[in-house]
Amino acid sequence: MAGCASLGEESPVEVMLSNLAPGQGGGVGDAALNFVIRLENTSPEAITVDGGAYKIYLNDIYVGQGLSNQTVEIARLSSTTITVPVHVSTVRLVGSLYSVLKSNQVSYRLEASVYVKRGGGSKKFRATREGTVNFAEVQNTLGGAGAR
């Protein structure tokens, strides 16, 4: 008997945390932050990203999820940024705030589910990126190139 193995289609979208900024609002026990996320099109054709869900972890602590219903066209082999509001739990952050403030940097993990328009519908792709954000670099750099 011949076996058939199906490899999943590789995501044409890479994600990266580009910047953090205070957001509007927030309630008791949470704070509003705007996460600037860079979407990179690694394919040789233009793609249309039709929204996404972005889970954010800071210093290995899950702090929240941002949802975006933005539709953005990304030219072939290029990138763009989107701003995603996230209401983060201050309770979850309390344990790591001291080390973040002391070191002036934070490690992050961004887990994304992005929807790419294909034919008449959308196809869901997953992407993950880990890195660090140096707040001193973010504050000193216009445009927020402080994430790696």
The CA-atom distances, in angstroms, between 63 and each of 87, 89, 103, 136 are: 8, 6, 19, 21
Phi and psi, residue 144, nearest 5°? 70, 50
Mean pLDDT value of segment 8-18: 86
In a domain, 148, yes or no: no
Domain with residue 18: its CATH number is 2.60.40.1820
Give the domain range for residue 30: 13-133
With 70 as the cut, is the pLDDT of residue 84 above it?
yes
pLDDT at 144 over 60: no
> What does the pLDDT average to over 23-46?
83
User: Considering the domain boundaries, does residue 45 fall inside one?
Assistant: yes
Q: How many domains does the chain have?
A: 1
Task: Determine the 3-state secondary structure of 43 from DSSP.
Answer: coil
pLDDT tens string 98-129: 566 566 777 889 999 999 998 888 999 999 99
